[in-house]
Amino acid sequence: MKVAVIQMSPVFLDKKASWEKLKELVLEAIGEGASVITWGETLIPGYPVWMGLTDSSRWDNPDQKRAYATYAREAVRLDGSIVEEMRKISLENGVMLMGGILEGGGSSVYATLLTIGFEGEILGRHRKIKPTFDERLLWADGDTEGLRTYETPEGPIGGLNCWENWIPLTRAALHQEGEMIHVAVWPGSFSLTKDITRFMALEGRSWILSACGVYRGEDFGHLSLDDFPMRDEMMSVGGIHSGGSLIANPIGEIIAGPLPDYEEGILYADVDRRTVLEERQNFDYSGHYGRPDLLRVIRS
């Protein structure tokens, strides 16, 4: 089964334009024979990179409030036209889409890993259970509703958002369901993915798809000051997130990526269940070696 990891820069704070750009790459990956396609954390309409580079934590900051209002406006609704179009593409082409969106729910927003199945159905949405550091000023806490795996022809697939991949119990919850292919979505940076991608492959004897975004100061130039008052400040910062997408096999080898810094593109790999089973002959954390009769994750 061929998998594809898309690395791209969004059209920042423009969900429709970001989806149109992503859609072209999704269709390109389908044309190359990919059956499972993924992309980075909250890629639509973008990861909130400005938070760590501006005065984001000052109470009642009018510029930050305006930026949040724009961000929330551009959140993706699960019953909206973008997700409907994703479902149509999945159904017509028999592919699974699994990637990051900023999900809107009420007036709150969530870092969500959305999974759309081979028949165009929404299989699940995994909201990040605990936003990290300045993300907490924007994203609401998630839940365990989407903390599960889904069937593919080459074994169960699951996924986590960014630093959730470092939480032993979130990984264990997916191993408990026999995960063989793991999707890890990130804002983007080789420093984030270089160690944990290989570690998770070795721990789970699993295929690991680490999907990253690309963010540069120039990506803010299309925004109005009315929508995003920090535009000029952000345009002067240069490179922010350089990518870092990787694919690792169950032996812990990096078999695709990273792309050169700040390069957009697609990584491909052919994954198979047999390699997973071969490597689990000596260590099967997703099976009997994990002693699920003694140690289990209990979800609230």
Give the tens place of pLDDT for each residue, 237-250: 999 999 999 999 99
Per-residue pLDDT tens digits for 272-288: 999 999 999 999 999 98
Helices and strands per DSSP (H, E), number in the chain: 8, 13
pLDDT on residue 107: 86
Among the listed residues 74, 103, 154, 162, the single catalytic one is: 162
Q: How confident is the model at residue 129 (pLDDT cuts 50, 70, 90)?
A: very high
Q: How confident is the model at residue 17 (pLDDT cuts 50, 70, 90)?
A: very high
Kindly tell me if the per-residue pLDDT of 105 is higher than 90: no
Among the listed residues 15, 21, 128, 135, the single catalytic one is: 128
pLDDT on residue 278: 97
Q: How confident is the model at residue 300 (pLDDT cuts 50, 70, 90)?
A: confident
Find the mean pLDDT for residues 39-57: 96
Q: What percent of the chain has pLDDT over 90?
A: 95
Q: What percent of the chain has pLDDT over 70?
A: 100
Quick check: is 162 catalytic?
A: yes
Q: Of the CATH numbers 3.90.1200.10, 3.60.110.10, 3.30.465.10, 3.90.1720.10, which one belongs to the domain with range 2-290? A: 3.60.110.10
Q: How confident is the model at residue 257 (pLDDT cuts 50, 70, 90)?
A: very high
> Residue 8: helix, strand or coil by DSSP?
strand
Averaged confidence pLDDT in the chain: 96
Per-residue pLDDT tens digits for 172-200: 999 999 999 999 999 999 999 999 999 99
Find the mean pLDDT for residues 45-57: 94
CB 123 within 8 A of CB 145: no
Find the mean pLDDT for residues 57-69: 95
Kindly tell me if the per-residue pLDDT of 299 is higher than 90: no
Find the mean pLDDT for residues 166-173: 96
Kindly tell me if the per-residue pLDDT of 138 is higher than 90: yes
Quick check: is 145 catalytic?
A: no
Kindly tell me if the per-residue pLDDT of 114 is higher than 90: yes
Kindly tell me if the per-residue pLDDT of 106 is higher than 90: no
pLDDT on residue 31: 98
Residue 88 or 290, more confident: 88
Strand arrangement of the beta sheet that strand 122-127 belongs to = 122-127, 108-116, 96-105, 36-44, 2-7, 265-270
The span from the CA of 214 to the CA of 203, in Å, is 28
Quick check: is 218 catalytic?
A: no
pLDDT on residue 212: 98
Q: 238 φ, ψ to 5°? A: 80, -140
Q: How confident is the model at residue 228 (pLDDT cuts 50, 70, 90)?
A: very high
**Full DSSP string of 243-300:** ---EEE-TTS-EEE-PPSTT--EEEEEE--HHHHHHHTTT--TTTGGG-TTT------
Among the listed residues 41, 103, 179, 279, the single catalytic one is: 41
Q: 75 φ, ψ to 5°? A: -65, 155
* Domain ranges within the chain, ordered by starting residue: 2-290
The span from the CA of 66 to the CA of 231, in Å, is 12
